[in-house]
Amino acid sequence: MRRHITGFSNPTVKHLRSLRDKKHRRRAGEFLVEGLRLLEDARASGRVPSLLVMAEGRAPHALLARLEEEVEAAGGEIVVTTPDILSKITGKENPQAVAGVFGEWDTGLARLDRGAAPIWLVAQDLRDPGNLGTMLRTGDAVGAGGLILIDDCADPFSAEAVRASMGAVFTQGLARARWSEFVEWLRAGEGQLVAASLRDAVPYRGAAYRAPCFILVGNESRGLPAAYEAECDLRVTMTMRGRADSLNAAVAGAVLAYEVLAALEG
């Protein structure tokens, strides 16, 4: 179905605007993605939006035309509106010419196949959506199976996290759990839990990594709780040669992920 919307007070416009808020995303089970590149990444990963909203007067594009066809073929809806209304929907003064609505998918641990990849990323209490998106992007780069979010992490379906992931939110497995639930799941099968730490740690280079390796990073300011570090099978340390006493959480995860990758491939 295709329709044209010209009014700011239209119920569809109000609903789309509400998806910028975590509470409304959770209630609706939907999230908003802006930009043709991200929408194409989603399509290439087998996901098409249930609703595609486009600004009138946009330049023709072959990828957009193919996306329109697939949305219609899947029974989705296409909405054409003014650039001003699209700006109101996305909250940006200069929005891209297209956005899409996707249903959130199951993020339970049970849907993950730990044997599907040698590396997995795990984030505990990660609050910055940019860091969360960066970890998804890192996971995609190193061929990780996905990202497991522990405790009170940022919303992976927020616009900021989706944008920072550069499309990896659609390519990476994604799960959310409390710490106790994660540990029970992890210990029920194969898996080495590794964290950067200063407690009884060995140098991160040359450490005895084994697959599947679950790389754990903690909160941006507090790091990991001592009890969580104690649960790890391996704790490693990274040398800091300057005045800073730690790396950004997402950066630390990326450095460690590439070291694990090199070790497992070597």
Q: What is the DSSP string of 20-72?
A: TSHHHHHHHTEEEEESHHHHHHHHHTT---SEEEEETTPPP-HHHHHHHHHHH
The pLDDT, as a whole number, for residue 266 is 80
Q: What are the pLDDT digits (tens) for 196-225? A: 887 889 999 999 999 999 999 999 889 899
CATH code: domain of residue 124: 3.40.1280.10
95 and 113 belong to one structural domain: no
| Domain range for 184 | 109-265
pLDDT for the residue 247:
76
pLDDT of residue 52 exceeding 70, the answer is yes
User: Which of 103, 132, 153 delimits the end of a domain?
Assistant: 103
User: How much of the chain exceeds pLDDT 90, in percent?
Assistant: 85
Domain boundary among 38, 70, 103: 103
d(CA 70, CA 150): 35
DSSP 112: -
pLDDT at 261: 97
- What are the two backbone dihedrals, phi and then psi, of residue 206, each rounded to the nearest 5 degrees? 85, 5
Q: Is the pLDDT of residue 245 over 70?
A: no
Q: Mark whether 87 and 180 lie in a shared domain.
A: no
Instruction: State the number of CA atoms in the 13 A half-sphere of 220 facing the CB.
Output: 14
pTM for this entry: 0.93
- Within this chain, do residues 166 and 216 fall inside the same structural domain, yes or no? yes
Asked if residue 260 and residue 227 are part of one domain, the reply reads yes
Q: What is the pLDDT of residues 65-84, one digit of tens each?
A: 999 999 999 999 999 999 99
| β pairing state of 146-150 and 192-196 | unpaired
- Mean confidence (pLDDT) of the chain: 93
Phi, psi dihedral angles at 42 (to 5 degrees): -65, -45
pLDDT for 7 equals 92
**Do 62 and 155 sit in the same domain of this protein?**
no
When divided into structural domains, the chain yields a total of 2
Residues in the chain: 266
